[in-house]
A and B are shown apart, each in its own frame.
Chain A
Amino acid sequence: MDLNKKFTPETWPDHPEKATLEAKNKFVGFWLFLGGETILFATLFATYLALKNKGPSGFKFSTQELFELPLVFVMTLLLLTSSLTSVYAMYHLKNYNFKKMQLWLVITAFLGLGFLALEVYEFVHYIKLGFTFDNSAFSSAFYTLVGTHGFHVAIGLVWLTLLIFRNSKRGLNLYNAPKYYTFSLYWHFIDVVWVFIFTVVYLMGVIG
């Protein structure tokens, strides 16, 4: 593949994420990987539901008392918006507009960072209340499920930062376009997992 080949918006393929065999492989392979990730989170969800509110005798924490929806609502807003901004970035990727794509990706990164910061704040807050990782089966399951999601967000941010800086000088080509695209798939996936966490852990925890 020739990295120096220059494109114009007219010559840029309609589906740059699937324009070469390597890109097609990456595309299919990443979808399959996300399938595996789905099972991974499903297992964590099942574990959480089995251990929800369970603790040693005299255990005082429960989802109703612990969780506060306003904070989680802001987190949800940040992450869902970051998914939207990554869609804008992919729109510009398909139109061969590198600068706008990078701009939207930077916005995506900051929104993700905001989410992560709030999650750290949330965890620190719980730990101050005495709801530590080794405090009960419930706390272990909660931190493992939500923490695994947070870890995925963190990995995604590192990945995105590397992508933005690595390609900042050279613009779009058919080698890095699939990389951007797989990142956006990953980011949407994280978002979908969060929707489930928000529903199953927080909403059903407070209301159910």
Chain B
Amino acid sequence: MSSVAQKRGFGATLWDWLTTVDHKKIGILYLLGGGFFFIVGGIEAMIIRLQLLTPNNDLVSAGIFNQIITMHGTTMIFLAAMPILIGFMNAIMPLQIGARDVAFPFLNSLGFWMFFFGGVFLNISWFFGQVPDAGWTSYASLAMASEGHGVDFYAIGLQIAGGGTLLGGINFLVTIINMRAPGMTYMRMPLFTWTTFVASAMILFAFPPLTVGLFLLTFERMFGANFFDPTMGGNTIIWEHIFWIFGHPEVYILILPAFGIFSEIFTIFSRKRLFGYSAMVFATVLIGFLGFMVWAHHMFTVGLGPTANAIFSVATMAIAIPTGVKIFNWLLTIWGGSIKVTTPMLWALAFIPTFVMGGVTGVMLGTAPLDYQLHDTYFVVAHFHYVIVGGTVFGILAGTHLYWPKMFGTMLNETLGKVTFWFFFFGFHLTFLIQHWLGFWGMPRRVFTYMDGQGWNSANVISSVGALLMAIGITVMVYNIIVTSIKNVRVANDPWGDGRTLEWAIESPPLFYNFAQTPLVRGLDTVYIEKMEGNLSGITPAEPVQDIHMPNGSFIPFMLSLGLFIAGFGAMFRTEEPWGMAVLVIGLVWTFAAMAMRSLKDDLGYYVKKEDILKDMKRKGGQK
């Protein structure tokens, strides 16, 4: 099989994307899928701000407002932020460790399609007019009282998408454990790889509780179980514990990869090695560990008692220490560097103060007595948007600009990128800074409107104007993507000029087998080391040119996920529609047939011939 690009029809291209197991293509699929849901969630956010623009507004009803805030939160966390980060992990991490693919290419594809079908399942609820409306946390007493199938869409959709995420987590862990290039010791791994590693470990241990929680919720709503119903001996707090045992690690799953992206950006554009590399690694692992110890700080007002509250309060504040270590290391990486203020660097520079503000309000909320005052007010809304937008979304936007040339082979326009940044940055602070005060002034979160004369009017107007600015920023970015894709100016291996890690030493985008010869890694920032010693290719090969083993594409992941999707509908309408049970059975049989086919049919992969690789190398004039 030759890797020379050929003109192909639309059908062949579509088939290629539906069956691909190439980590770079799956990364792009995640980016597109997550990007789509990011826009959907953004539109929902705009409706929220429009509704809250004036007091006593009746743009949307209270019921629809509940649906919109629920879907905004759920979409942004599960269907936008996490998939886009997983997209970067897919596209970049194997390149950073000198691997040719991930450990389980088939599972990688399955993970994507499960996320995709889960996301579609969740959002199809809009067309049924039965939308999840119990908040993104779906607390049991609200979820039990919710009529229609809204919460069922939530439980089943997230179950499917969450399964995909779990597969992704295991896949990345094994990839990093088993498939690092010779010389790539753990303490030579780029920070983004490290944060991928820790975030994946957190996915592995945080998602099973979510799986259980969602099953309990489904059983309770659909099969008459009684886990959460106090009149039947149940306990509604069980859901809160299970959800937050998942939910708190989840926010670190969201932030750690962003930390990794920023670490890469600071080193590239300060043109220095990362300050305190080993402390950074240690801090990442520590944050991952402590992330599991603090879930009850979401439940201070539940009444767990002063002892529990005190313990979780102290544990929460302890997380500020490794995070502080990271902040200072980034500052000292910039310090004395030869700084280039590119678009990714702008995001990274803006991230530090923004995230610190979110961290400080986090410590405030972690103080249990103060939390009693601030609980369920707009102060909380302001806090988590400062960390999730100021950390994760800034990281995603920075990563999009940084890695776009590596993923697509063409640069995003720098001027438009900076316009995006300034609109979004100002819009963000305008929207959410004032919400701290709205919280102090007593405005509760999740209310669909408010009375006039409480002093909240102008603050809400300011907040809504800020949201508009953010929307303009994102619109400019979409325009940027379209324009540069049409121009399609091809770029070389290292378009930023200062790449230090392996992904910048190969083509943009890389050939499907990534490395013609597996690289030999000689230290941290190995490409930088090679360049300093006069090896301009940036890579010393660890093996002669030889046949390369690659995995086969497969359509089974798509079909398997589709089976789950169909079964989900059947399960939901099982009792009330005559076709419900049949559809459930068809979906499950479909799913198990796909699994059996995977199991029974040997999939041995294929070899890329040495001659073809040599031809590629000659054509590119690449590595010697």
Bin the interface of chain A by size. Answer: 35 or more
Q: In whole angstroms, what is the CA distance A50 to B231 when docked?
A: 15
Mask, A46-57, CB within 8 Å of B = 1, is 110011001110
* A162 engages B208 (CB within 8 Å): no
**In the complex, which of the residues B103, B208, B233, B235 contacts A39, with contact meaning CB atoms closer than 8 Å?**
B208
Binds A, one of B77-85, B218-226, B361-369: B218-226
Q: Which applies to chain A's interface (DSSP): helix, strand, loop or mixed?
A: helix
Report which B residues bind A (CB closer than 8 A): 103-104, 166, 170-171, 173-174, 177-179, 204-205, 207-209, 211-213, 215-216, 219-220, 223-227, 229, 231-235, 238, 241-242, 245, 596, 599-600, 602, 604
Q: In whole angstroms, what is the CA distance A140 to B227 when docked?
A: 7
* A138 engages B209 (CB within 8 Å): no
**Given A3-B604, A56-B233, A35:B205 Cβ within 8 A:** yes
CB distance from B313 to the nearest CB of A (A): 22
* A47 engages B238 (CB within 8 Å): yes
Q: In whole angstroms, what is the CA distance A75 to B405 when docked?
A: 60
**In the complex, which of the residues A21, A28, A43, A140 contacts B225, with contact meaning CB atoms closer than 8 Å?**
A140
Chain A residues near B227 (CB-CB < 8 A): 47, 51, 137, 140-141, 144
Quick one: which of A1-60 are within 8 Å of B by CB?
A: 1, 3, 21, 24-25, 28-29, 32-33, 35-37, 39-40, 43-44, 46-47, 50-51, 54-56, 59
Whether a CB of chain B sits under 8 angstroms from the CB of A136 is yes
* A56 engages B231 (CB within 8 Å): yes
Whether a CB of chain B sits under 8 angstroms from the CB of A123 is no
Q: In whole angstroms, what is the CA distance A3 to B601 when docked?
A: 13
Chain B residues near A54 (CB-CB < 8 A): 233-235
A-B residue pairs, 8 tightest by C-beta: A54-B233, A134-B224, A137-B233, A40-B208, A140-B225, A137-B234, A25-B103, A39-B208
* A134 engages B234 (CB within 8 Å): no
**In the complex, which of the residues A24, A56, A139, A162 contacts B178, with contact meaning CB atoms closer than 8 Å?**
A24
* B204 engages A36 (CB within 8 Å): yes
Considering only CB atoms, which chain A residue lies closest to B204 in the complex?
Answer: A36
CB distance from A37 to the nearest CB of B (A): 7
* A144 engages B216 (CB within 8 Å): yes
Q: In whole angstroms, what is the CA distance A20 to B97 when docked?
A: 20
Whether a CB of chain B sits under 8 angstroms from the CB of A166 is yes
* B103 engages A29 (CB within 8 Å): yes
Chain A residues near B170 (CB-CB < 8 A): 29, 32-33, 36
Whether a CB of chain B sits under 8 angstroms from the CB of A133 is yes
Considering only CB atoms, which chain B residue lies closest to A139 in the complex?
Answer: B226
Q: List 17 contacting pairs A-B, 8 Å CB cutoff, sorted by A.
A: A25-B178, A28-B103, A28-B177, A29-B103, A29-B170, A36-B204, A36-B208, A43-B208, A47-B212, A54-B234, A134-B224, A134-B226, A136-B226, A137-B229, A138-B233, A144-B216, A162-B600
Q: In whole angstroms, what is the CA distance A134 to B225 when docked?
A: 5
* A50 engages B173 (CB within 8 Å): no
* B235 engages A50 (CB within 8 Å): yes
* B233 engages A51 (CB within 8 Å): yes
**In the complex, which of the residues B178, B225, B229, B602 contacts A3, with contact meaning CB atoms closer than 8 Å?**
B602
Chain B residues near A1 (CB-CB < 8 A): 604
Quick one: which of A120-166 are within 8 Å of B by CB?
A: 133-141, 144, 159, 162, 166
